[in-house]
Each structure stands twice: as C-alpha cells, then as structure tokens.
Structure 1
Amino acid sequence: MMNVLDGKKENLVLGIDIGTRNVVGTVGYRTDEGKFIVVAQTVKEHVTRAMLDGQIHDIGRVAQVVSWVKEELEVQINQPLTEVCIAAAGRVLKTVTCRAEYNYPEETVVTGEDIHTLDLIGVEKAQDLLNEKNDTNYKFYCVGYSVVKSYLNDDLFTSLEGHKANKIAEDIIVTFLPEDVVDGLYSAVGQAGLSVANLTLEPIAAINVAIPENFRMLNIALVDVGAGTSDICITKEGSITAYGMIPHAGDELTEEIVQQYLVDFQMAEHIKLSSTIDDEVTYEDIMSIKHSIPSEEVWELTDKVVDRITSEVAEKIIELNGGQTVSATFVVGGGGKVHNFTKKLAEYLNLPEERVALRGEEVLKEVTFLQEDIKKDPLLVTPIGICLNYYDKKNNFIMIRFNGERMKLYDNNRLTIVDAALQAGFSNDKLFPRSGKALNFTVNGNKRIVRGEVGEPAVITLNGKPANINTPLEPNCNVEIIPSTQGERARYTISELEEYTSSIMTFIVNGRLINCPKFLEVNGVLEPSSYAIQDGDIIENRGFYTVEQVAEFMDVDIDLDEDIYVNNRLADMNSLVYENFSIEWTVKECHIENASYYASDEQIKERKYQESLRGASIGLGNYEQSSENDFDEEVEKKVELESKEISEVNEEAEAKEAEAKEAKEAKEAKEAKETSDDELEYSDTPIEVEDELSETELYFDVEYQDCDTLEETFDEEYEKMDEYNSIFEKNDSRKNDIDLEISYDLKKNLDEVKDSSYNVNHGENEESEEEKEIIVTVNNSPVTLTDKNSYVFVDIFDKINFDLSNSQGRGIITTINGRDARFTEEIHTGDKIEVYWKEM
C-alpha cells in the first residue's frame, strides 16, 4: 500500500460519516480519470446512545469515537490526519428554492469563480427568505445546496463556464439545519483534533455516489435510511429538485426488539442485523440467559414499525415530487437492509418491487478499495460521497464564527477580519473609535471648535487572541469584536477661554494702574466664568466695567458718602469705565496688599514710553473722553508734580504724616474731656491728609497696550506684578495706614488664571486645529470631507453610497492612487480612490 500512496499523501481526503449508530471513516483520493481510490476505512459503533435522530447529544462521547476512528486510519496510512469532511443530518431540516441572478457591466466570459459567486448570491437570498418565514426558535445555518437549473442570458444551459454572457442566473435549492446541530458536529471533531475542511448534507453526499449525473434526467428518489433519520432527495430533468427528511429510521426497530426480548440496546442491534443475514439469531438477555430464535420471528416483530416508516417515507417522496410518485427509488444506508423495507416502500409508492432497490455494490463500480477485506455495502455510500463532495466544493468557502454567529465566506485566499465584519453588516463606525460631539462657537467673530473626547477602539480577538482588522482569517476560526465606543461630547467653560484668562483691561484707580480681566458676553448676555459654553454660542469680550464691578474685583469697600470720579467727572457705582479710564474714590476698608492686579513694572515703563512718544509725559485715563479743559489742567498738575525731586516729595509726605498724627492725638484728648456733642465734632483730619497725599502721590503712568498685541504673555506679566508693587509702595506714605492684603478668593482666581493653558486639542484657535476640508476623487467623482483635521480611508464610506453588507460573495477592491489601500491609511486632497466589488 505504501508504494501505491507514494506521491499521493498530500492529496488524501478524510471523510467521516457521524451517524446515529456508527461512525464510518474513509480516506482516499480521486484520480485524474474521475475514479475514487479508498486507501483506508474503518467503522466504530457508539458505546452509548450519544446521538439521537442524527443530532449529537453527548459531544464528549462522540468525540471519543471520532478520535478512535481517526487514530485507526492514521495507523493504516502511516501519516497524521488534521482535516476532515463531514455531513450533517437532523430532524429539523429546512429547504428553500430561489433564483439567483447577476448582470455583468459588459459582455464577459464566465469563469468558475463567477459561478461560485452566483451560488453564494443564491445562498444569501435563500437565507433571507428563510429568516422571513422562520416560525421556530431555531437559528438556521446552510449545510448544503444544489443548482437545479442554470441560465445564460435567460436561456437554459447545462454548464455556464467559458461562455460569454451579459447575465447569468440559476435556480438553486438550499438546505438548512439548526445551528446547534452544526455546532455539535464542529465541537466533536474539534475535540478529536480535527478541523472541518468541508460540510455537506447527508443526502447530497449520498446522491453523489448513488445517482450519477447521467441518471438524473430520470425522476428518481434516493432514500438514505440511517439509525435516527431517513433522508430523501429527488432528481428530475438532470438536477436535484428537492430534499426532505423524516425523523424515523432503524433505531425504532431496535427499540422494539429491546422491549420484546429484554436485552440492552447493543444486543438488540445484534439481533436486528443478524436477522437480515442469518436464518437463526442467538442472543443473551439481561438475566444472562441465552436464547436462539428464528429470524422470521424478528421480522414479524418489526413488521409494524417497518410498515409505518416506509409509509411515511413514501408520503414524503410524493410530497417532494409535486404530488405524484417517482419512476424509481434507490435505498442506501444500514437501515435500508431491514427485511421487507424495500418491498413495503414499493407498495406505498405504487411501483414494481424491482424499481425500489438497495444500492451498494452497483453504485460503487467507480470506487476502488485497496483493503482486500472491504465489502461494498450500502453503509459505505454516504462516507464515500462525503469525500467526493470535497472535490466539488474544494476551497469555495470557509466557515467561521463571528460574534457567536456561524458564517460562510467565499475564500479568495486573502480574507481578513474586516471582510468578515463587512459581510456580517458590522458598521465601520463600530470598528474605529469615534470622537464625541464637537463644540462649535465663535469668540470675537472667530470660529472656534473644541473636540470631543476620543472613544475606545474596537477590541478584536481571533480564537481568543488579540488581533486587528487586517488579521487573516482561518477556517473554523472564532472572531469576536467588541464595538468601539464614542467619546464624551466636548465640554468647555468661559474660564477656560484664553480671551478670559489672558485678555485684560487697564484702569487707573486712585493713581495706580489696575489690570482687570475682560468680561465675556455670551449671545449678548454677561455670563460668569463657570458658564458651560453651548454649541453655536456667540462670545465677545465686553469692553467696559461698572465702577461697582471694579470695586468687587479689587475687593475694596467704597465710602459711598464721598464723591466718586470717573475721568474727573462725578459718577456713581453704575457708571461705565472703559479701557484707560481713571477712577477716584475713597476707600473705607481694603484687605489687599501687593495685589496681583497692580500693573507690572514693565507695563508702567511701556506706558511712560508711549506717552513720551505722544509728547506727553503723563496721562490719566481716556483723554479723548475727558473735556479739553480737564485734560489740560490734569496734565499741568502732573507735570508740576513730576518736576519735583523725589526727596522733596518724601519730606512733604513725612510732614503731612506728622501733622495727621498730631491731629489724631488732639482728637483723643478732646474725647477724654467728655465735652458736648458740638465740641466733639472734629474735622476728618486723617482722611483730609489721605486726600492730600493722593494729590502728591508719585507714580509712573504709561500707555496700556491690550494683551493680545503684547509679546509678553499674561503669565509673564503676572510674575512681575509683585516686583512693581513693592517698588511703588516703598515711596507710598499711606502704606502704614492702609493694610493692603489680597483676599483668598481673589488669589485663587488669579492663580487659576495664571496656571491655565489653552489646550491645543480643546479649542485653541490655531489654523492647524481648525476643521480641515479635503477633496478626493472616488470612483471618478469628487468627494468633499469635512468635520475633521485628518481623514483615513474608511471615512469615505460616510460620504459615498456604497453598501458594505452587500458583498454577495464578492471581494471588495480598494485602491488609492492605483495601489492597494488599507482601511486605516490617511488620505489627502487630490488622492484618487477606487472602491468596488470584484466582478465575476
């Protein structure tokens, strides 16, 4: 045998018929002349009733039997076996007949791949029809199909391959079984160390051997009688026209024998089989008593069961054949060998007895067995047919499990996980992370966008191991995809805007430069720093404060009994104060010292320099808004003060301070004398002194420039404020009388301003972070992509009309600038993209 196998080992095919009673394994190969050579074969009975009615009930026990068959065959051929072809059966069989069509863009030569793709179109259409009519709780899976008729440009043709056509079509019959039936088979052979190379239906496998194509012009029925089911198919006019099944077969005969003769199931099987070949049957019952009975007694016992089974088989054949009987019937399978089975079936079909016959040795003429002890028997028809079916369906499809659902994919040797996802209708939005909804608004007329949070990418595994969308698929693999997520929508507050944190206004308060942040109005309404910006908001800097707001910002308590001046004009707390305006007021209480809002040394120097360029060494506030006379008087006054030496100012300040001290002591002395209320009235000397001091206060007044135009950042100015204040207050004679101490809240706010930064990905108004628009050419048509700052290939599917789930067995072709494209590849303006289904 080894000499015969030389050079053939790589072409060997393993077929296993996992039946209700037996597991039959066959190893062989097909010659160039079409003959099938069986090089090894073995049969093993189930130890227990691990299968019922063609469906696996105990996967572990069935796997043990399959493993034993595999090991026995490996010994016979002296090489390991890794792949297996199997066939399915079961009591819940569904068939759907439909028409599949495909139109070519232009006249094209039909290839074998085109025909396979047409088959898949038919399978998918049948699956859709079954899902619409499914009135059960089962989820069905395609286990086989047969082409009834083929059409070339609507004309009936026997074979389409090689012809030129504008349109091809076929009538196809597709068979389905519940997924749990298929899953049981896959699990059993998987535990035995085998992977499934091909799956078919048992009657399809049997008919490949029992009814050759040259017989199929006749109206013939094939009945595969097993232990649990009787599978049926009908041929007519050269094609298989129908499939069916009844859940009754040989095991019901065995159960009748068990009850009658008080034996276990194994002994009952022995009695049933012996009665078909011997005149007398010997057995031992459960009481260990031996018996011998004539075979006729067994026939009489099982006659009623045989009658009932053949009656139901005949009814099903007539139903599948359009209400009329067939011309002949072939019976295969071990159950068909029961006494009188073919005779009674012929009676119910109204056929002569010779037209209902067992098919064994007669149909195995083209099969050669290298094992001398093998007898050609109906039991061998189905396992050999399983092997032959592999050649007809080789490499057409691979089967996988996608998120728990079994799928069949046309195998082009380039399948990846993304192909499975597309055929399963898994949206590309679920494959790639999605950003949360962006926030669009305008600030001072400029468009601003804040990106949402980025979601989590899809989690992809292949057979439990991490994978990605480009990982190649393997037959019978298990693909799991946890969809990607969408990130949180964008959130932003006023306090996070650069215009709030670094855009400032400058006022002159009692002769000092004060920096205040610019208020922001949202849709014309002043909003606090905690305001959450909404999509479409229009935000603008407000160019003024009120006197009251300035006081609140500085955290000072104003004496409302004294006059308030804005630009030397009488004002009140509601008066508006614009950039560079001066404010004069009397402070009752102030808790701020070295406050951060005081102007920096650099600001003061810059202001003085700008004023000198205008020909004025000192300025107070917004001169354009002051009267001309007030301006002249103020300038003269300040010029006069500036001309004094600093030492003179200090001497004058010391004198006034001494005078104020003496006045204070005099007042205390008068109060001690308990004089009358009129005598107790006393001029507010310290305040008068303070007012006088304010007139002689020395400071540097320079022109303020908006922070947007300064090269220095707000943070740099913030760091210099303390330095200026310490220099300024060194010469301030009021420092001993007024304790300036910054409040906790103001410190906190200013620290937040200083530490804040405008995140590039959250609203920075840089050109590079604006929404980017690109224009690419897709299938010779321009396509514009917006709403992102970069784009990948898969983004085009949001802009074009292309149904990714409509593969119909075709591979998807994606190119960019003439080369193969990846779904995650970045695209740019001017790229030429093609996306289309691979035509047949």
Structure 2
Amino acid sequence: MPTIDKSTAAATKKTSAAAAKTTKTTKQAASKSKTSKTAKAAGKEPAAAKGTGDRIFSLDIGTRSVIGIVAEYHEDDEQLHVVATDRLEHTTRAMLDGQIHDVPQVAAVIEKVKKSLEAKTGPLKNAAVAAAGRALYTMTAEAEMDVNGLITAEQQRNLDFAGVQAAQAALAESHTVDDPTRYYCVGYSTIRYVLDDIQLKMLIGQRGKKAKAVVIATFLPRQVIDSMQSALHATNLEMRALTLEPIAAINVLIPPTMRHLNLVLVDIGAGTSDVAITKNGSVIAYGMVPLAGDEITEAISQRFLLDFNIAEDIKRRAANGEDVTFTDILGMDYALKASEIIDPVLPNIENLAGAIAKQIIELNGDAPQAVMLVGGGSLTPHLAEFVAEALGMPANRVAVRKPDRVDGITDLPEELHSPDAVTPLGILKIASLNTLHFLSVYVNDEEYSLFNFRELTISDALLNAGINMRKYNGHPGLGLMVNIGTEKKFFPGTLGTFAKILLGDEEADLDTVIHDGARITIIPGENGTTPSVRLGDLVTAGQEYTIYINGREKHIRQRVTINGKEADADQLLADGDTIESREFKSLGEALLAAGYPPTGRKIHYKLNGSDTTYSCTPEILLNDNPASISMPIHEGDHVEYIADEEPKLGDILNLSNSDTSIVIYYENAEYQIPSAGVELTVNGRKASPGTLIDDGCEITYVKSERTATTVSDALLAVNFQPPAATSRVTFTILVNGQPVDFTDPVKNGDSLEVRLTSLEAPATAAAPAMNAAMQPAEPAPAPSISSFIHTPQPAAQPITPPAAPADTQPRRRTIADFIRTD
C-alpha cells in the first residue's frame, strides 16, 4: 500500500503514513459518521458557539422540495432545540436526480424558505447542507502514526484526517476519474482503529506505540458542490457544513451503539435512493441508486397524460388511500380509486425495489439483518414489501422509519415526524457536532474549495488542486560522456532549481498555514544545463619533431582528433565524442600535417557535363629515394615533394593509341593501324592531348565509331611493296598463319605474313632469291595518337603507300593496286 507523506497527512510533528485502496468506482461513497461524543472530542470546535440561543440553520435541498430547520444549542442540557421549520416545493423540475440544473430557480425557493424562517428567528448567515449521492466515489484508506504516551483527541483527529488525505491521494492515483481535482471529499467515517495490532473503537486515552485508522471517504463531483454553493450565495448564505444525505440520515436513526448490527438505511428521495450500511460497529459502505420517487410519478404522468406536478399530487393522495379526480391533457375527466392509480404502476414500484435490493447486495455481499426506508419516496405503496421480497427477507425486517425521537434534538414539531424529515434533522445534528465548511483558495489564479476540517496548509491546497511539486522542479541538465582513447570520462550536468511557493507575495513552504482567500503561486524551477567542455580542457598538444621538406624545416606536432577529424583546443565537445591523440607514423601523415596533400592537388573539372576530379599525383622522394606515402617517417628525414602542377588533357583523360588504333605484327615489327577519330574541346575551344588543364575546366571528349580494319589496310600500313608484274613471282597473304583475302578483317594483335612463290623454279630454291629481291622498304614509323586528333590544321591521314596523296582519304585496295607495271 502507498505511504502518505507526513507533511500532508496531518498537522503534527509525528511521523505518519497512509495507504489506500479503491472499493467502488461509481456507486459507493463514504463520509463521516461518528458518535456525538467522539465528534466533540476529536473534532474542531464547531462554528456555532455553545451559548444558549446560538442558531444552526439546516437546509435539505431536495429534488422535489426544500426543507429548512433552525435550532438553538443550549449548553445546560446539551440539546438542540428546534425553533422553526419550513418547507417549499419546486414549481418546476429545477433539480434532477439530486443535481441542481436551474440554479436561479432553486435559489428562489431557498430564498423563500430562508425569509420565512428569518421572520421567526432573525437573520441567517449560513446554512448546513447535504449532497445527494449522484456519481459517488468511495475510497478506503489506512493511516498510521507513531505515538508515545497517552493518546490525545488531537492525535486521533490528526490520524483520521491523515486517512482522509490518503483516500484523496488514492483517488488521484486510481485513475477511476478523469480529473481528481474536480472531486470534493464530502465526508468520511472511521471504520476502525488499531493500536499495536489490537482493534479498538476509540484511541483517546489509550497508550501504545503505533496507531492506525482505517477510513472510508466519499467524493462527489465538484459540479454538484459548486452548484449548491452558487444557489446559497445567491441568497447571501455561506456553506457552514456539508455532508452526504445517507450520512445525515444514519446519524438520526442508527446511533453508534446499534452499528454493530448489519443494518441498511435507504434514503429514498425524488431523484436518488442513497444507501448506507453499518456492520461491526461502524459504517462500512455508502452507495446510490439513480431511481427514486420520481420514477413512479413519471409512470403515472405517462399513463394518464398528466402534468408532472399534478401526477406527483395524485401519487401522494393515492398513497394515503384517497380517491382522486383529475383532468388529463385531452380534457377528459377522471374519478379513480387509489388502487386504480397504484395498480398500473406496480411494475415500476417493483423495478425500483429491485434496483435498491441489487445495490444492497453489491455493497453488503448478502441480505442484511434489517432495512430501514426513509425519505419522501419511502411512502410509495408496497415498496417495503417488494424490497423484502427482492432481498429474500421477512417482510417485518424492512420498514419505513419516521424520526419520532432523535438523540440530541428536542422540541420536534409534528411536521418533522415524517420520513422526509430524517435528512434535514441529520444535517442539523452533524452541523452541531463538527463543522466542515469551505475555504476558498487560489492556486496559480484558479479557485479551489477546501473543507476546513482542521488547520489547512499549502500542502492540502496543492493536493486538492492535483499539483505534484516534483513536476515543477527543474530537471537536472544532461551529462556529457566522451571517450579518450580506451577510457570514458563523464561530466555531469548542473542540477535544476527547486520550484518556489509564494503565499501572496511572500515565499512559503508546504507546511505554511493557509486561510480563506489565500493566493498560492507556484514558480517552476529552472532546468539544469549540460556542461561546456573544450578539447583543450582534456588533452594538450602532442610531442613535436622536425623533418625537412624541399629543403625547408618543418615542425610536426602530434595530431589530436575528434571522431577521426583533426580539431583544435577550442572546439567544444559533444556527448559521445571520441578523442584520439597519436603521433605521425607515415610519410603521408607528416606531409598532410605540413600542408602538403599526400596524394597531390585535386583538379575539379567537368567532362561531358559531369563533375569529375583528377589528382595530380606528386613525385615523392624520401632521403633521395622514391617513396610511397605509407612509408614510415623519422626525426630529421629529408623529403622532396615534386608536385605535378601542370596536368595535360591527355594525362587527365588517360588517352592512349589503343583508343584509336589496333596493333599488328609484321616481320617481327609492331605496327599501329588507325581505326577511330577523337575530337577534344576545353572551355569550348579545340584542344589536343597536350593542352594544359586548370581547375574548373569544362571538357568535351567525342570519339568516332571504330571502323573495321581489313587485310588491305594492314598491307598499306606496313608499306608492303608487291613484286613487279614481270617478275614471274606470286604471293600468299597469311594472318596468324591462315590464308586470307584482301577484304578479310584484321584484329588487334594479329600477325601478318606475305609468302612469295616463283613461277619458274621450285618454291624452295627460288624463294630465298626472290625474298631477297622483294624485301619491302623500311617500315614507316607507326603513326602516333596525335595524328588522329582533329585540329584546326588539315587532318593527319593514316599511313598509305608512297604513291597515295597525303590529303586524300584511304580507299579500299584490290589486287590491281599491288601489280607493278615497271
């Protein structure tokens, strides 16, 4: 069970704890029920003084009528003497099911009752009232307290109220209502006391170490109470005391000495039927049935087509056994006996009895020992019989009770000897014993009403407003965790500040006492901050060593990185950063630290519209020897860094002869045969592979389609000179050792061979001489790639036999081209 903070449990320096549990969510209720002696001993002094002639105004604002009673308390006999009483019915249905729906109309009826009584008693400034049990919530709570020595009435009272606050806290935590701040505690009853594990009826005068009280508290929607307050304020009345209607009734008819019996009291009004149950010496449960006398009135109105008020009058007369005459809405006249009115609505009466019996079983578990019916609705014919039948009880154990005699109240006039006078008499009695009046306080400019059942503190007001101070305290700032190598280092955030409480303009705390009209302001605390830590706060610069680059002395310092990126000492750290500090181990790291890009300068250009990057790879020498950037570096090393400052277009595009020609082999020599053309521009101007390129250039590169290379193209490329026609020599052309024709294709890497054969001598004898005579001229130099680049000058042509003009396009050759005519 949850423990209640002692600062809100009671106005005492003793340690107290409380626990609570929900016993019902919609129909049950709990309130105060104590003996007159107990209330006098444990309660605060009532608002009414104890001298002779001091008046108490009891007001029962019911669904059908308003009953007022004024009584004076006399100290000599410790009795309330009824001075005056009056009642007045509502002319309209201003109230439904015990809830005020038309505040001005209800206030007008209260005003008439008040003026009638004031004519007999003098001015009335406040009134004690009771609320109907519509939308009740009941919470059972326990409160404990360490006690030393003799237990006083003040200690018992504090323990009771600790239980009430525990019940209020339990309602807030139970989530049975959407907004617990919209509910008021309208009363409570102490179910039992326990002192050192021994159950007692009362703690006053006892000795022990640990006392406990089990309390049942009742809560009603704030709207019910607020509307009642509004009606009272409209008549210049303050709410002196508030209780629950069944609590009021039970204090009249079931004295504490009879509460060891399992008894049920049902207050049947016009709109609701409120239930209270006693057992084992205390009130154990409260409940409510949303059906009452108006259900029968409505049934008569519907059956005979009557105005509701006329139907109510007919119901009462028929209940008294009188014959009735009336005219319905159609103008038809009726003269009926009482039975002719009651018999048609018997099913409705039986339904009401069934609902009451069902609620009793739900609260009590089984049939009680006896049931007492009070309130105007209890006079409904046959209702008691139907309730007994529904509960399976003897008919004589369910009875309608009238307040013929009430302990503590004398001089009852005859008009109060009726079942509907039980509740106003009970209100009167409770108001004389212990006054639970309201305090109006403001929390953050919103008004709240608190029951003044003891000296209230700011803690009580915040609990009523549903404010948890922890939510107003500033939150701690987020911490900072960084990784330094293999270690983690944590820097906590600053703490938030506590919320401040102002009572008026002065600072206060939870235990500060409040009074009516108090204005409480909660100033939220400020949140803490995340610490600001810079890299230099954690690490210092690394070790320095010297190297020489291009003859210049360079001082290289150990590198410190955050998440892999080099950082300076002023950089702020973020949560989760990884800090690493290590010396330069490679040539590339040393060059980068010294300001030389290890992989060379980057040139950004556009090639055919696409962004591209080219690295001007430098030539690097370490101690006069070629080196790679992954090689280790040492103190005093000499580095030569030769940058490629002027890249050429051919280097950038990586153009080669293989892009525009094929290679063949002829007589152990390599020949290139043009097979495609290339067109280059830089920034819109014609360019060649030797054109220098700068950062940001726009380059276009267009290569013509590769043409098929034939055997005749290959013969021309190798400057083959065929024998003269008179030489009596024939020849065979072979590609890769296979005979071919002039129009057959030649591929990259093919081997070309020409075999000559004499027509006069055997091939084996004549071939050497003929070969010697027919040796081709020295092969012409293979054309380079530049000869195939379109430039403003006349285009270079593929190599052709000497007889071919240089400025004509090559054409396909036939055998006739190779026949000498000389």
TM-score after normalising by structure 1: 0.50
8 A Cα contact 1:318 1:326, kept in partner: no
Residue 256 of structure 2: aligned partner: 213
8 A Cα contact 1:500 1:518, kept in partner: no
Change in Cα spacing, 1:536 to 1:224, as seen in structure 2 (3 Å) is: same
Tell me the amino acid that sits aligned with residue 168 of structure 1. Answer: A
C-alpha distance in structure 1 between counterparts of 2:544 and 2:422, whole Å: 97
Change in Cα spacing, 1:318 to 1:441, as seen in structure 2 (3 Å) is: closer
Gaps of 5+ in 1: 566-570, 590-840
Residue from 110, 113, 116 that aligns with 1:69: 110
Question: After superposition, what is the alpha-carbon deviation per residue over 1:765-787, rounded to whole angstroms, capped at 9, x for unaligned?
Answer: xxxxxxxxxxxxxxxxxxxxxxx
Question: After superposition, what is the alpha-carbon deviation per residue over 1:659-694, rounded to whole angstroms, capped at 9, x for unaligned?
Answer: xxxxxxxxxxxxxxxxxxxxxxxxxxxxxxxxxxxx
Residue 715 of structure 2: aligned partner: none
Question: After superposition, what is the alpha-carbon deviation per residue over 1:502-523, rounded to whole angstroms, capped at 9, x for unaligned?
Answer: 9999999999999999974559
Residue 229 of structure 1: aligned partner: 272
Residue 189 of structure 1: aligned partner: 228
Residue from 80, 102, 105 that aligns with 1:36: 80
C-alpha distance in structure 2 between counterparts of 1:562 and 1:10, whole Å: 117
- Deviation (angstroms), 1:61: 0.9
Structure 2 residue 248 is matched with structure 1 residue 248: no
Residue 432 of structure 1: aligned partner: 473
Written as runs of structure 1 = structure 2, the 5 A alignment for 1:747-758 is none
Q: Which range moves more in the overlay, 8-17 or 512-521?
A: 512-521
C-alpha distance in structure 2 between counterparts of 1:476 and 1:361, whole Å: 42
- Deviation (angstroms), 1:206: 0.4
Change in Cα spacing, 1:489 to 1:24, as seen in structure 2 (3 Å) is: farther
Residue 272 of structure 1: aligned partner: 315
8 A Cα contact 2:273 2:290, kept in partner: yes
- Deviation (angstroms), 1:85: 3.7
Q: Secondary structure of the equivalent of 1:413?
A: coil
Change in Cα spacing, 1:215 to 1:419, as seen in structure 2 (3 Å) is: closer
C-alpha distance in structure 1 between counterparts of 2:407 and 2:324, whole Å: 30
C-alpha distance in structure 1 between counterparts of 2:478 and 2:93, whole Å: 60
8 A Cα contact 1:455 1:485, kept in partner: yes
C-alpha distance in structure 2 between counterparts of 1:145 and 1:22, whole Å: 26
- Deviation (angstroms), 1:162: 1.9
Residue 109 of structure 1: aligned partner: 151
Question: After superposition, what is the alpha-carbon deviation per residue over 1:531-553, rounded to whole angstroms, capped at 9, x for unaligned?
Answer: 74445866879999957645589
Tell me the amino acid that sits aligned with residue 292 of structure 2. Answer: A
Q: Secondary structure of the equivalent of 2:425?
A: helix
Q: Secondary structure of the equivalent of 2:208?
A: strand
8 A Cα contact 2:322 2:338, kept in partner: yes
Residue 333 of structure 1: aligned partner: 375
Residue from 404, 408, 415 that aligns with 2:457: 415
TM-score after normalising by structure 2: 0.51
C-alpha distance in structure 2 between counterparts of 1:376 and 1:476, whole Å: 41
C-alpha distance in structure 2 between counterparts of 1:300 and 1:284, whole Å: 19
Change in Cα spacing, 1:526 to 1:129, as seen in structure 2 (3 Å) is: closer
C-alpha distance in structure 2 between counterparts of 1:538 and 1:411, whole Å: 64
Tell me the amino acid that sits aligned with residue 377 of structure 1. Answer: S
C-alpha distance in structure 2 between counterparts of 1:46 and 1:448, whole Å: 77
Change in Cα spacing, 1:196 to 1:410, as seen in structure 2 (3 Å) is: closer
Residue from 112, 120, 133 that aligns with 1:89: 133
Tell me the amino acid that sits aligned with residue 146 of structure 1. Answer: S
C-alpha distance in structure 2 between counterparts of 1:513 and 1:26, whole Å: 110
- Deviation (angstroms), 1:185: 0.7
- Deviation (angstroms), 1:102: 3.2
8 A Cα contact 2:144 2:213, kept in partner: no
Residue 385 of structure 1: aligned partner: 426
Residue 202 of structure 1: aligned partner: 245
Tell me the amino acid that sits aligned with residue 35 of structure 1. Answer: Q
C-alpha distance in structure 2 between counterparts of 1:503 and 1:30, whole Å: 94
Residue from 146, 150, 163 that aligns with 2:206: 163
Change in Cα spacing, 1:588 to 1:385, as seen in structure 2 (3 Å) is: same
Q: Secondary structure of the equivalent of 2:251?
A: helix
Question: After superposition, what is the alpha-carbon deviation per residue over 1:160-181, rounded to whole angstroms, capped at 9, x for unaligned?
Answer: 2121122334565x3656xxx5
Change in Cα spacing, 1:547 to 1:500, as seen in structure 2 (3 Å) is: farther
8 A Cα contact 1:205 1:386, kept in partner: yes
Change in Cα spacing, 1:388 to 1:518, as seen in structure 2 (3 Å) is: farther
- Deviation (angstroms), 1:421: 5.4
C-alpha distance in structure 1 between counterparts of 2:51 and 2:111, whole Å: 19
RMSD: 6.4
C-alpha distance in structure 1 between counterparts of 2:114 and 2:584, whole Å: 93
Residue 528 of structure 1: aligned partner: 567
8 A Cα contact 2:151 2:205, kept in partner: yes
Larger radius of gyration: 2
C-alpha distance in structure 1 between counterparts of 2:490 and 2:619, whole Å: 49
- Number of matched pairs: 564
Q: Secondary structure of the equivalent of 2:478?
A: coil
Residue 725 of structure 1: aligned partner: none
Q: Secondary structure of the equivalent of 2:221?
A: helix
Question: Share of identical aligned residues, percent?
Answer: 26
- Deviation (angstroms), 1:270: 1.8
- Deviation (angstroms), 1:363: 3.4
Tell me the amino acid that sits aligned with residue 114 of structure 2. Answer: L
Written as runs of structure 1 = structure 2, the 5 A alignment for 1:393-404 is 394=435
Q: Secondary structure of the equivalent of 2:406?
A: helix
C-alpha distance in structure 2 between counterparts of 1:500 and 1:138, whole Å: 55
Structure 2 residue 391 is matched with structure 1 residue 350: no
8 A Cα contact 1:439 1:450, kept in partner: yes
Tell me the amino acid that sits aligned with residue 337 of structure 1. Answer: L
8 A Cα contact 1:442 1:448, kept in partner: yes
Gaps of 5+ in 2: 1-47, 602-617, 646-822
Change in Cα spacing, 1:80 to 1:486, as seen in structure 2 (3 Å) is: farther
- Deviation (angstroms), 1:271: 1.6
- Deviation (angstroms), 1:254: 0.4
Change in Cα spacing, 1:86 to 1:325, as seen in structure 2 (3 Å) is: closer
Tell me the amino acid that sits aligned with residue 382 of structure 1. Answer: T
C-alpha distance in structure 2 between counterparts of 1:169 and 1:499, whole Å: 58
8 A Cα contact 2:409 2:429, kept in partner: no
Change in Cα spacing, 1:221 to 1:11, as seen in structure 2 (3 Å) is: same
Residue 724 of structure 2: aligned partner: none
Change in Cα spacing, 1:456 to 1:19, as seen in structure 2 (3 Å) is: farther
Change in Cα spacing, 1:290 to 1:313, as seen in structure 2 (3 Å) is: same
Change in Cα spacing, 1:401 to 1:30, as seen in structure 2 (3 Å) is: farther
C-alpha distance in structure 2 between counterparts of 1:426 and 1:133, whole Å: 15
- Deviation (angstroms), 1:159: 2.3
- Deviation (angstroms), 1:387: 3.9
Question: After superposition, what is the alpha-carbon deviation per residue over 1:567-625, rounded to whole angstroms, capped at 9, x for unaligned?
Answer: xxxx999999999x999999999xxxxxxxxxxxxxxxxxxxxxxxxxxxxxxxxxxxx
Written as runs of structure 1 = structure 2, the 5 A alignment for 1:794-805 is none
8 A Cα contact 1:399 1:409, kept in partner: no
Change in Cα spacing, 1:297 to 1:586, as seen in structure 2 (3 Å) is: closer
8 A Cα contact 2:53 2:73, kept in partner: no
